[in-house]
Amino acid sequence: MGQWIDHKAADGFGFPAYVARPTGKARGGLVVLQEIFGVNSHIRAVADGYAADGYLVVAPATFHRVKPGVELGYTAEDISAGVALKAAVEGLPAPGVLPDIQAAIDHAKQAGKVAVVGFCWGGLLTWRAACLLKGLNAAVPYYGGGMTAAAEAARVPQVPVLVHFGEQDQSIPVETARAFAKAQPAVDVKFYAANHGFNCDQRASYNEAAAKLARERTLVFLAQHLG
């Protein structure tokens, strides 16, 4: 089990992050970026899981600049609330929430090399981090909403990137995901016979086989670039 630790971004903004530590020496640092539902029980479980695999994990509360203490479920009402909060954060003046992610990366560096893994909106933020932030060694976006938009697909990653997309994703049309893969030949893009949110075992769209394969690939990728 992890614990909540207060962090401070370069602009002085304070925010909490859920930090999960491995037993024994860490294999590296990992920043886990939330979906639109906050650092909820699922994201904390993801963090705990990677800590069990030997990583020091930091999961920053990336909604904190617009609303503290967000922890949503997956009902229609929760989705609407999460979409509104995401829009509020995306509407912040640049650089928005990126300084908070940078602070999380900086904290994770105590464990050595650092990667970032993010889901849904966190997948989009993971892609931006790979292109814009410092101190990273790898990035793994899962079904990053908005990643396939032209402006995002035109970004240039500064570190190796492994991307997971669902071929049945109703939020990210597969043709746009394939166009992203074509535009980013250096990025390792994987496709799964699954829907949006396939990694989350609290959602109806959970796909055990796809989640297991994506996690196995992610762990190999992390070992390769953080080892």
Nearest to 147 by CA among 175, 127, 117: 127
For residue 90, what is the domain's CATH number? 3.40.50.1820
pLDDT of residue 1: 75
User: Which residue has tokens 């990694």?
Assistant: 199
The set of catalytic residues is 120, 169, 196
* Strand ranges for the chain from DSSP E: 3-8, 14-20, 28-33, 55-60, 114-119, 138-142, 162-166, 188-192
pLDDT band with cut points at 50, 70 and 90 for residue 130: very high
Residues with Cβ within 8 Å of 23's Cβ and at least 6 positions away in sequence, in order, are none
Sign of CA dihedral 124, 184, 212, 24: negative
Strand order from edge to edge, sheet including 162-166: 3-8, 14-20, 55-60, 28-33, 114-119, 138-142, 162-166, 188-192
pLDDT band with cut points at 50, 70 and 90 for residue 57: very high
Q: Residue 162 pairs with which residues in a beta bridge? A: 188
Provide the domain count of the chain: 1
Q: What domain range includes position 215? A: 3-226
Q: What number is the average pLDDT over the span 52-57?
A: 98
pTM confidence score: 0.98
- Distance CA(223)–CA(217), nearest Å, equals 10
pLDDT tens digits, one per residue of 193-203: 999 999 999 99
